[in-house]
């Protein structure tokens, strides 16, 4: 990766997440320097961590993953300028990532997902300034459901 980031030296461990009622959180760990806005974190059934975030230095959407006890590994999902704002991550039944997000240039609602081979992309809504504050969930059939803001009209929208 040709990015200036001090990424790793830290391990992923589901045990570092505070369990309800446990009373204490682990000390914060630095995953990346000078980046990492609009992050969304999920753990799969095997304990692997999955993270979507916006790299505000380079203006890219990133995805990271880690095996339990291993270092985080990051890759660029969408390198179009300004894309990755308000990222929301969900995992499908096969554990593959889906990310809803927007961009700070066109403000479209976008969806990227990994099909097991490569990242795929689609535009969900591009009418005006939409896609802000999006949140993504997948139903039991792995169909996406996204709630998001339409800034131009002052609306909350739901796409499925």
Record the pTM: 0.84
Of 50, 65, 64, 107, the C-alpha closest to 84 is: 107
31-159: which CATH topology? Neuraminidase (2.120.10)
Interatomic CA distance for residues 144 and 65, integer angstroms: 21
Each domain of the chain, given as residue ranges in start order, spans 31-159
151, 129 contact by CB (below 8 A):
yes
Which single residue is written with the structure tokens 């097991």?
Answer: 116
Tokens for 27, please give them: 């000390």
Phi, psi torsion values for 158, nearest 5 degrees: -130, 125
pLDDT tens digits, residue range 70-122?
888 999 999 999 999 999 999 999 999 999 999 999 999 999 999 999 999 99
pLDDT tens digits, residue range 31-53?
777 677 899 999 999 999 999 99
């Amino acid at each position: 990766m040709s990015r200036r980031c001090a990424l790793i030296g830290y391990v992923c461990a589901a045990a570092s997440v505070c369990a309800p009622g446990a009373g204490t959180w682990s000390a914060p760990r630095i995953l990346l320097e000078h980046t990492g806005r609009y992050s969304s974190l999920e753990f799969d059934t095997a304990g692997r961590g999955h993270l979507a975030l916006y790299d505000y230095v380079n203006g890219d959407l990133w995805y990271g993953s880690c095996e339990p006890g291993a270092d985080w590994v990051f890759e660029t999902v969408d390198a179009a300028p300004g894309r990755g704002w308000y990222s929301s991550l969900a995992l499908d039944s096969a554990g593959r990532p889906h990310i809803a997000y927007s961009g700070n240039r066109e403000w479209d609602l976008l969806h990227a997902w990994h099909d097991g081979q490569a990242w795929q992309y689609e535009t969900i809504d591009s009418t005006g300034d939409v896609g802000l504050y999006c949140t993504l969930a997948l139903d039991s059939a792995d169909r996406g459901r996204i709630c998001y803001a339409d800034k131009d009209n002052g609306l909350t929208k739901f796409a499925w």
